C-alpha cells in the first residue's frame, strides 16, 4: 500500500531578515519535529535561504528549505530572477510555483507554471505547484473546473517516469489565503480528491497515490489537525502562521501519527 508522509511547508512571503530567520530557527526544538510523522519545509525570502540553512544545521533541525518562485531559463538576461542552479546552490530542495500572489501580481500564467514545473523537476528541485479558485469562481460553481484546468497545465510538461515524491501540489483557494477564512475541511479534502483524480488521469494511479497534495489557506494551530486528518490532504502550505515559531511548531505537532494510507483514486 502506498503511504504518504505529511509535508508541513511554510511560506514566509516577503517577510523576514537574516537576523529574524536565525532567531526563528534558534527558537525551534528539534524534538518537536518528528520525521516519522511528517517532512518539514520553510520557504523564506531568497536572501535568507543561506541563513536558514546555516541555522537549521546549527540546530540539527529536520527542516528543508525552498524558494518561493524560480525562473525556468537556465541563465541569462532575466533581471531579478533566480535559476534552479542558484536555488539548489543554497541547499534548498523545493520551489513554490504558481502561488496565487505570483499569478495575481507578477503575471504568472498556467503556461509559465508548466514550464517552471518541468525545469524544476529536470534540475532536481521539487516543485510545489499551487492551484486554486477565486471567490467569484467558487460562487459561479467553477471551483472544480478551475482547479482541474490549472492542475492539467501544471502537469502538462512533467517528464515521463517522474517519481511522485519529486512533485507536490498545493490546493490554495485564493479567498482563503491570508484572510483568516479557512476552507471547510471536508470541502478542502473533496477538492484535493478532484486534484488527485486529475493526476491519475494524466500521470497514472501510481503517481496519484504517491503525490502529496497540500491544503493552503489560513491554516492555524487550531485547525491543522482536522485538515491533516483527512485522507486526501497530505499536509499544508502555511503562510502567516509559519512566521511564528510557536505556531509553526504546533502545526507540525498536529501531524503526529497521521501518515496517509487511504486514497480516493
Ligand atoms: C500561503 O501563503 O500560501 C498561505 C496559504 O497563506 P496563509 O496561510 O496566511 O493563508
Just give the CATH number of 2-262.
Answer: 3.20.20.70
Count CB neighbours of 249 within 10 A.
Answer: 18
- For 58-83, the pLDDT digits (tens) are 999 999 999 999 999 999 999 999 99
**Which atom of ligand 1 is nearest the CA belonging to 100?**
3
> How far apart (Å, rounded) are the C-alpha atoms in residues 189 and 214?
10
With beta carbons less than 8 A apart as the criterion, state whether 66 and 9 touch.
yes
Residue 192 Cβ contacting ligand 1 at under 6 Å: no
- For 6-61, the pLDDT digits (tens) are 999 999 999 999 999 999 999 999 999 999 989 999 999 999 999 999 999 999 99
Q: Is 153 a catalytic residue?
A: no
C-alpha cell at 52: 536558514
Q: Whose CA is closest to atom 3 on ligand 1?
A: 239
The residue from 99, 118, 137, 153 that is catalytic is: 99
> Nearest 5°: phi and psi at 63?
-125, 130
Nearest to 150 by CA among 85, 210, 194: 194
Instruction: List the domain boundaries for the chain.
Output: 2-262
The upper half-sphere exposure of residue 63, i.e. CA atoms within 13 Å in the direction of its Cβ, equals 34
C-alpha cell at 59: 540546530
Residue 173 Cβ contacting ligand 1 at under 6 Å: no
What is the reported pLDDT for 261? 52
Cα 49 to Cα 27, 102, 223: the distances in Å are: 17, 19, 28
Provide the whole-model pTM: 0.95
Residue 239 Cβ contacting ligand 1 at under 6 Å: yes
H/E stretch holding 150: helix 143-155
What is the reported pLDDT for 265? 42
Q: Is 99 a catalytic residue?
A: yes
Residue 11 Cβ contacting ligand 1 at under 6 Å: yes
**Which atom of ligand 1 is nearest the CA belonging to 11?**
2
Beta-bridge partners for 4: 260
- For 153-208, the pLDDT digits (tens) are 999 999 889 999 999 999 999 999 989 888 999 999 999 999 999 999 999 999 99
Amino acid at each position: 500500500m502506498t503511504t504518504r508522509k505529511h509535508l508541513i511547508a511554510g511560506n514566509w512571503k516577503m517577510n523576514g531578515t537574516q537576523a529574524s530567520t536565525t532567531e526563528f530557527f534558534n527558537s525551534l526544538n528539534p524534538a518537536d519535529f518528528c520525521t516519522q510523522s511528517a517532512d518539514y519545509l520553510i520557504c523564506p525570502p531568497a536572501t535568507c535561504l543561506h541563513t536558514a540553512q546555516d541555522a537549521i544545521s546549527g540546530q540539527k533541525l529536520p527542516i528543508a528549505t525552498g524558494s518561493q518562485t524560480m525562473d525556468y531559463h537556465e541563465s541569462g538576461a532575466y533581471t531579478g530572477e533566480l535559476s534552479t542552479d542558484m536555488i539548489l546552490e543554497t541547499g534548498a530542495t523545493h520551489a513554490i510555483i504558481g502561488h496565487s500572489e505570483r499569478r495575481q501580481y507578477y503575471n504568472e500564467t498556467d503556461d509559465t507554471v508548466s514550464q517552471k514545473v518541468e525545469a524544476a523537476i529536470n534540475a532536481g528541485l521539487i516543485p510545489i505547484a499551487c492551484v486554486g479558485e477565486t471567490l467569484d469562481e467558487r460562487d459561479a460553481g467553477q471551483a472544480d473546473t478551475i482547479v482541474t484546468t490549472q492542475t492539467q497545465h501544471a502537469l502538462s510538461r512533467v517528464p515521463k517516469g517522474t517519481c511522485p515524491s519529486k512533485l507536490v501540489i498545493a490546493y490554495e483557494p485564493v479567498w482563503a489565503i491570508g484572510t483568516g477564512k479557512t476552507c471547510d475541511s471536508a470541502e478542502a479534502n473533496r477538492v484535493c480528491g478532484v486534484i488527485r483524480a486529475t493526476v491519475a488521469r494524466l500521470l497514472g494511479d501510481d503517481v496519484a497515490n504517491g503525490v502529496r497534495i497540500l491544503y493552503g489557506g489560513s491554516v492555524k494551530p487550531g485547525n491543522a489537525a482536522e485538515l491533516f486528518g483527512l485522507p486526501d490532504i497530505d499536509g499544508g502550505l502555511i503562510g502567516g502562521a509559519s512566521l511564528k515559531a510557536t505556531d509553526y511548531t504546533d502545526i507540525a505537532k498536529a501531524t503526529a501519527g497521521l501518515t496517509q494510507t487511504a486514497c480516493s483514486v
